[in-house]
Homo-oligomer: A and B are copies of this chain.
């Protein structure tokens, strides 16, 4: 079994309204030292296989098919034996 962590972030230049609004709200609450806020989506997937290569392939296919939108997202996959 492998546990994959898929980190799905917005590409450079893509607007991050959730991050921007979180930043604005933190400012209103008095957090003056916080300069930038960005949001990232993270999925953890448990993959039932003993091969790290097969797990990586399965998770990257899942990213391309469902989890990430290649127009706006970059993604990184990290694997850990579980």
Q: Chain A residues in contact with chain B, CB under 8 A?
A: 1, 7, 19, 22, 25-26, 29, 31, 33-49, 54-55, 58-59, 61-62, 65-67
Contacts and interface: CB of A to CB of B under 8 A. Distances in A.
Contact of A22 (B7, B31, B38, B43): B43
13 contacts: A19-B43, A26-B62, A26-B65, A31-B62, A31-B65, A33-B54, A34-B62, A35-B46, A37-B43, A37-B45, A39-B44, A40-B42, A40-B43
Contacts of A62: 26, 29, 31, 34
Contact of A29 (B19, B34, B36, B66): B66
A65 B22 CA distance: 11
